[in-house]
Structure 1
Amino acid sequence: MPVSRILAILAAFALPLGSAQALTWDETVNGDLSGDGNAPTLIGSLDAGNNLFSGTMGSLGGTGPLDADVWNFTIAAGYYLTGINLVDYSAQSGSPSNESFMAIANGSTIDFNNPLGHLSNTLWGYGQDGFGNTYVDLLALLDAGPMFAGFGFDGPLPSGNYTFWIQEGSDQINYGIEFVTSPVPVPEPGSLLLLGVAGMWVLRRRRR
């Protein structure tokens, strides 16, 4: 059996129990997600695979208090956040909106009033991301940001603790968003051998 296949099997057995069963948070079942950036809903560590969050945000007709949804989650060591996919989006008015907003921050809270502290943020626009289509790549939109100041990031998000905030300004929106976590790739045996050789070469040069 190839060494790479053996390593893959060992890695699978090393995953925590239950990691194959991705998490689902449905507001109609699990309760309303927090609307407070200082006290987000604590999700804990996301499972490997596709973790689905579904609920309602905004306000019908844009009147009355606007319902924000905010949740805090952890990407475990050895994993990356490789996708944030919009899998469902429908406006109560029947018309797509241009005023949906999302932001992500490092840590256990997110400041609604200070985008400088955001890792990234952006508006969702109908022309920009094609509302009504499934699997719209929201992570790519955040990666291309931030739109309103912030730190910015490049590529998949590494292990750590994050807070995610979504908001709609002029309608009531039903949404479904998948957070996809994937294990950090195990280096191929050939790569490990090259690293070992390079390390020995560096040691030999230091001894000279």
Structure 2
Amino acid sequence: MPASRILALLAALALPLGSVQALTWDETINGDLSDDGNAPTLVGTLDSGSNLFSGTMGALGGGPTMDADVWNFTIAAGYYLTGINLVDYSAQSGSLTNNSFMAIASGGTINMSDPSNHLSNALWGYGQDGFGNTYVDLLALLDAGPEFGGIGFNGPLPAGNYTFWIQEGADQINYSIDFVTAPVPVPEPGGLLLLGVAGLWSLRRRRR
């Protein structure tokens, strides 16, 4: 066997079985995320498990221009979004009380001037939970909203295409946000059987 084939085989064997590279977007590596709600950065389909987005937004360099970050993603059929977790949030000013803005909408764009078609929107930040924790459940904040007008939703987000927008108006913010997806649970065979029996019993009672 050629040496190159042996090296390739050894490299493959060194990989953990079943390992999957989660989707990540790091602005220092992948480039700046869009600041245009009509042309968000297309990041593709979220992988099962963690999908990490890291970047910088707001008053970059202390200047008057406010940089938003907007990206479009897809949740595959058979999956849903179970969490949007704030892993890291730090302000250039050192403030622990910043409240940045976030919004999510269905489809490939998001209106940045009219919230009426937002699925939800809310304020988020390092001190959002009052304890200075950075692992804040942003999905729960959105689920409890919208704070500034919109459609609203309940529970995990189902399969589909969505656009997410974050914005800071007074500071430069470094952030990392983890989008977590999971397979939609399939009913156990026993549960399906019970549902079938219950359905037949109900039908029998109606025929009497």
Instruction: Identify the residue that residue 82 of structure 1 maps to in structure 2.
Output: 82
Alpha carbons of structure 1 residues 117 and 179: separation in structure 2 relative to 1, 3 Å: same
The 5 A counterparts of 1:6-85 are 20-60=20-60, 63-85=63-85
Instruction: State the alpha-carbon separation in 2 of the partners of residues 91 and 131 from structure 1.
Output: 16
Contact 1:78 1:183 in 2 (8 A): yes
| Percent identity (aligned) | 81
Partner of 1:37, secondary structure, is coil
Contact 1:61 1:93 in 2 (8 A): no
Contact 2:68 2:167 in 1 (8 A): yes
User: By how many angstroms is 1:44 displaced?
Assistant: 1.4
Instruction: Identify the residue that residue 160 of structure 1 maps to in structure 2.
Output: 160
Does residue 92 of the first structure (1) align with residue 101 of the second (2)? Answer: no
Per-residue Cα deviation, 1:45-79 (whole angstroms, up to 9, x for no partner):
10000000000000147532111000001111111
Contact 2:60 2:67 in 1 (8 A): no
Instruction: Identify the residue that residue 129 of structure 1 maps to in structure 2.
Output: 129
Per-residue Cα deviation, 1:135-168 (whole angstroms, up to 9, x for no partner):
2100111111100010111111111111000000
Partner of 2:149, secondary structure, is coil
Alpha carbons of structure 1 residues 127 and 178: separation in structure 2 relative to 1, 3 Å: closer
Alpha carbons of structure 1 residues 131 and 124: separation in structure 2 relative to 1, 3 Å: farther
Instruction: Identify the residue that residue 193 of structure 2 maps to in structure 1.
Output: 193
Contact 1:61 1:170 in 2 (8 A): no
Instruction: State the alpha-carbon separation in 1 of the partners of residues 160 and 39 from structure 2.
Output: 18
What letter matches 2:78 in structure 1?
A: G
Does residue 140 of the first structure (1) align with residue 140 of the second (2)? Answer: yes
What letter matches 2:141 in structure 1?
A: L
Contact 1:130 1:136 in 2 (8 A): no
Alpha carbons of structure 1 residues 80 and 25: separation in structure 2 relative to 1, 3 Å: same
Instruction: Identify the residue that residue 150 of structure 1 maps to in structure 2.
Output: 150
User: By how many angstroms is 1:128 displaced?
Assistant: 3.1
Alpha carbons of structure 1 residues 118 and 136: separation in structure 2 relative to 1, 3 Å: same
TM-score, normalised relative to structure 2? 0.84
| Count of residue pairs brought into register by the alignment | 191
Structure with greater Cα Rg: 2
Alpha carbons of structure 1 residues 88 and 35: separation in structure 2 relative to 1, 3 Å: same
Contact 2:42 2:71 in 1 (8 A): yes
Instruction: State the alpha-carbon separation in 1 of the partners of residues 147 and 203 from structure 2.
Output: 46
Alpha carbons of structure 1 residues 131 and 76: separation in structure 2 relative to 1, 3 Å: farther
Alpha carbons of structure 1 residues 97 and 134: separation in structure 2 relative to 1, 3 Å: closer
TM-score, normalised relative to structure 1? 0.84
What letter matches 2:175 in structure 1?
A: Y
Partner of 2:200, secondary structure, is helix
Moved over 6 A (4+): none
What letter matches 1:25 in structure 2?
A: W
Instruction: State the alpha-carbon separation in 1 of the partners of residues 32 and 132 from structure 2.
Output: 23
User: By how many angstroms is 1:34 displaced?
Assistant: 0.5
